Amino acid sequence: MISVKKISPLTGDDTGAASGTPTFIVELIDDGELKTFQVRVEPIEVGEQTIERIDCDKGLTRLLHTRPGIAQSFFRIIGNLYHGKPTQFPVELVG
Give whole-number Cα distances, 37 to 20, 46, 59, 80, in Å: 19, 28, 8, 18
Does residue 67 lie in a domain region?
A: yes
Does residue 59 lie in a domain region?
A: yes
Give residue 16's pLDDT. Answer: 56
Give residue 39's pLDDT. Answer: 95
CA 69 to chain centre: 15
Provide the residue range defining the domain that includes 39: 2-88
Does residue 83 lie in a domain region?
A: yes
How many domains, the chain?
1
Give residue 19's pLDDT. Answer: 59
Q: For the chain, which ranges sit under pLDDT 50?
A: none
Give residue 94's pLDDT. Answer: 81
The answer to pTM > 0.85 is no
DSSP 52-72: EEEEE-HHHHHHHHT-HHHHH
Give residue 69's pLDDT. Answer: 86
Does residue 24 lie in a domain region?
A: yes
Give residue 67's pLDDT. Answer: 87
